Amino acid sequence: MPRSLTDFVPLSRSLTRWQRHALTAGLGFMGLTIAVLVAAVVVGAGDSPFAGWLRTWGTSACYMVAAAVVAFRAWVLPLTRGPWITIAVGTSIYGLGNVVWELWLGKLDNPPIPSLADGLWLSLYPAAYLGILWLVRTEWQHVKVTVWIDGLIAGLGVAAIGSAIVFPRVLETASGDTVAVVTNLAYPVCDLLLAALVTGVFAIRGWRPGRVWALLGAGFLSLTLADSIYLLQVAAGNFESTNVANIFFLAGVSLIAVAAWQPQSGAVRPKLESWSVFLVPSMFVAAAVVLLAFEQFDDLAATVRPLCLLTIIAGFGRTVMSFRDLRTLAETRALALTDDLTGLPNRRHFMQRLGTVIDEAEAENATCALLLIDVDQFKELNDTLGHAAGDELLRQLGPRLRSALRTSDTLARLGGDEFGIVIPFPTSEDAARGVADKVHVSLADPFSIQGLRLQVNVSIGISLFPDHGRRDLELLRFADVALYDAKRTRSRSAVYDQSRDTHSREHLTLANELKEALTRGALNVHFQPKADATTGQILGLEALARWDHPSRGPITPCTFVPVAEHSGLSRDLTTRVLNLALEQCSVWRRAGYDLHVAVNVTVADLVDIDFPEQIAGALARHRLPPEALVIEITEGSVLSDPERTRGILSQLKEAGVGLSLDDFGTGYSSLTHLRALPVDEVKIDRSFVREMATETKDRAIVLATIRLAETLGIRVVAEGVEDEETWQRLAAADCHLIQGYVLSRPVPAADVHALLAAPVVGDRV
């Protein structure tokens, strides 16, 4: 059951209170009449005088109310006013027919055929046709011819099938003079036309009618059914309307009334790209063929043969046109050289151009360069601000990048957030780097996306012909390797370097070795203290993974954590670090130090629904209270599946585990996250803290974060504090905790005791 009127008839949302009451009364009246009539039939009181009264006067009243409800819609809402007025007029005239019948004609012993009532009833049809066509027109100004033909085929098909079924039965029972037969035949013919029209509309809508058409279609179908029932009855000599026919009549007008108050769902464009467009039309054509074959053996109505033939002809025309459409589509696709979103050349165009430029350079013994550009943190932007924002950025990027280039250079969008540039002139490595620098400069001004000012950076990978390769695909791959290098080293652009290309192979070896180290338990942790900014007292320690590689020596987490992430080892890494950290924490706590340990986690942990359970189990095993553990998350780790992650974070929070937002300030919308995530602590990224003493901007960010966190009741940690001066500034700014080399580097657990035992440094302010 819909909870309120607006769920049921959404357009009523804009009504005033009284208007809404009026609408509720109207719809309620119709609903109640149907319900009572159905109930009367169900309990076997269908022949009672009350049911008879409801059938005659209740029904007539319902027609008028339905007409009023539809007219009311046309009156208060200007959109598609015309069609609805037409339908309202039709419905009210139809109701008038009923009244005339009940008051006068029905009482006659031998009512004339045709009568005035027939005239009134039949006028519903032209009004309905007009209303439907008018609605169709306002909705689809630009429908393709093939789609109209689909509608035609469906309509003709339904007419053919319908006339084959309905007409013989009506004719069989028809009696009296020609005028009477024609009058009685007018109803099924009109009904069939209506059904054909509605089916046609459904076909045009690609069989996804939307609420208005679904309800309107159901309404007219119900009226048609009621009519058929009644006609068969009349043909049998019974003019009294029956309960069943009446219920269908009532349902029909009610559905039409409800349809009027549904929002228009707009044009649905049927897909033209696939062969499925042939399916429904061919079904109708097949039905027509079967009917024609059948007609050879059995005499069907005279209308069947022409209707079937028309259906088949339309189907044939449709097929021819569709084939042509599909072929042109394929051709345009093949020829299309521009990217839809940005209007820049696309990948295909780019590769053609690269091939030509390489050939020319080869012939002239010259060089050329290829630049690959990738937008930094594009995925994050897309995930936080939505695809529309991402698309908008890509659109705006085109002209900016273009402005850094010469006309002879080709700029293309290669897909996703990747752009490519071909530089055809004799080019040295320095010249290529110069272009890359110009590209970076062109992005210096912030972009304005959805009212936000965004600073956008890109990474650029460069490869050169013939220094690095002689074929297009080779150059593309090398530029890609260079791009990867640029991202990894956070240098904004990089030129391909063969010596570093071994990287990918190395990466694989490293992953295998890391896996082995994790199973052997060869991975260790160091601890770095977090201390009260004012007193210097150590309140907790962050566990940082350490890997002493047997042949290469110590490898930093910045190297192996990404390896773990790429090779599905992050969960194992976290488990290892978590266990070591909790084990140590329980040792310290038993020694009387009230400390917490902080553990860094990754995306893989935060999307694993077993993660909260694992944490609870580990805490229990080490007999630690939940507050002894802080989980450090980064904005990036939340973004890949925000919904799921938020669920997992809430579970952790509920369990009492501390949550800390790491590297704060480096993401796209840190402030939003600070409010939306259930964190207890935020760690200001060390890049801001480091420059605090010299850069006023960084200082402002640090101070603002502290103040904001204060308001939100969140603890602030400044990380990467390297000197006393910064510490003092932070303490003066009411930063709660500090972490950094000034206190201690990350040290093995064995050295932590010495730190803990050392006298507290004292008040720094």
722 binds ligand C2E (CB under 6 A): yes
- Residues 622-641, one symbol each (x = binds ligand C2E by CB under 6 A, - = not), give ----------x---------
Q: Indicate the residue among 605 and 662 with the shorter CB distance to Ca ion.
A: 662
CA-CA distances (angstroms) from residue 268 to 158, 197, 204, 220, 284? 22, 17, 8, 21, 21
Please state the closest distance from residue 372 (CB atom) to ligand C2E, in A: 27
- Residues 534-573, one symbol each (x = binds ligand C2E by CB under 6 A, - = not), give ----------xx----------xxx--x-----------x
632 binds Ca ion (CB under 5 A): yes
Cis peptide leading into residue 466 (ω within 30°)? yes
Q: Distance between CA atoms of 618 and 624, rounded to whole angstroms?
A: 9
Q: Which two tokens stand for residue 253?
A: 């007008």
Contact indicator for 127, 87 with CB cutoff of 8 Å: yes
| Residue of 663, 679, 699, 737 interacting with ligand C2E (CB under 6 A) | 663
Please state the closest distance from residue 747 (CB atom) to ligand C2E, in A: 10
Q: Which of Ca ion, ligand C2E, none lies near 573, with the C-beta cut-off 5 to 8 A by kind?
A: ligand C2E
Contact indicator for 512, 568 with CB cutoff of 8 Å: no
Q: Which of ligand C2E, Ca ion, none lies near 746, with the C-beta cut-off 5 to 8 A by kind?
A: ligand C2E
Please state the closest distance from residue 555 (CB atom) to ligand C2E, in A: 10
Q: Distance between CA atoms of 759 and 600, rounded to whole angstroms?
A: 28
Please, what sign has the CA dihedral across residues 90, 96, 102, 107?
negative
222 binds Ca ion (CB under 5 A): no
Please state the closest distance from residue 571 (CB atom) to ligand C2E, in A: 10
| Residue of 720, 726, 735, 752 interacting with ligand C2E (CB under 6 A) | 720
Please state the closest distance from residue 530 (CB atom) to ligand C2E, in A: 10
377 binds ligand C2E (CB under 6 A): no
Dump the DSSP string for 376-438: TTHHHHHHHH-HHHHHHHHHHHHHHHHHTS-TTSEEEEEETTEEEEEE-S---HHHHHHHHHH
Q: Indicate the residue among 493 and 602 with the shorter CB distance to Ca ion.
A: 602
Q: Indicate the residue among 408 and 491 with the shorter CB distance to ligand C2E.
A: 491
Q: Distance between CA atoms of 307 and 418, rounded to whole angstroms?
A: 55
Please state the closest distance from residue 518 (CB atom) to ligand C2E, in A: 11
Q: Indicate the residue among 250 and 718 with the shorter CB distance to ligand C2E.
A: 718
Count the site residues for Ca ion by CB under 5 A. Answer: 4
Dump the DSSP string for 429-496: HHHHHHHHHHHHHHT-SPEEETTEEE---EEEEEEEETTT-SSHHHHHHHHHHHHHHHHHTT-SEEE-
| Residue of 83, 131, 424, 746 interacting with ligand C2E (CB under 6 A) | 746
Q: Which of Ca ion, ligand C2E, none lies near 156, with the C-beta cut-off 5 to 8 A by kind?
A: none
Q: Which residue has the tokens 């409801």?
A: 54
521 binds ligand C2E (CB under 6 A): no
Q: Indicate the residue among 26 and 720 with the shorter CB distance to ligand C2E.
A: 720
- Kindly identify the residues of this chain, within the stretch 111-130, that bind ligand C2E according to CB under 6 A: none
- Please classify residue 468 by burial: count the beta carbons closer than 10 Å to its beta carbon, then call 0-12 exposed, 13-18 middle and 19+ buried: buried
Q: Which stretch binds ligand C2E (CB under 6 A): 30-38, 155-163, 599-607, 619-627?
A: 599-607
Q: Which two tokens stand for residue 467?
A: 């220094």
Please, what sign has the CA dihedral across residues 356, 358, 362, 367?
positive
Q: How many CB atoms lie within 10 A of CB 563?
A: 24
Residue 500: enclosing H or E segment and its boundaries? Answer: none
Q: Distance between CA atoms of 135 and 373, rounded to whole angstroms?
A: 49
- Residues 634-663, one symbol each (x = binds Ca ion by CB under 5 A, - = not), give ----------------------------xx
State which amino acid sits at residue 355. Answer: G
- Kindly identify the residues of this chain, within the stretch 656-695, that bind Ca ion according to CB under 5 A: 662-663
602 binds ligand C2E (CB under 6 A): yes
Which spans in 205-295 are helix H? 210-235, 243-260, 279-295
Q: Which of ligand C2E, Ca ion, none lies near 720, with the C-beta cut-off 5 to 8 A by kind?
A: ligand C2E
Q: Which of ligand C2E, Ca ion, none lies near 100, with the C-beta cut-off 5 to 8 A by kind?
A: none
Please, what sign has the CA dihedral across residues 655, 656, 657, 663?
positive
Contacting residues toward Ca ion, per CB under 5 A: 600, 632, 662-663
The binding site for ligand C2E (CB under 6 A) comprises 528, 544-545, 556-558, 561, 573, 577, 600-602, 632, 662-663, 686, 719-722, 740-741, 746
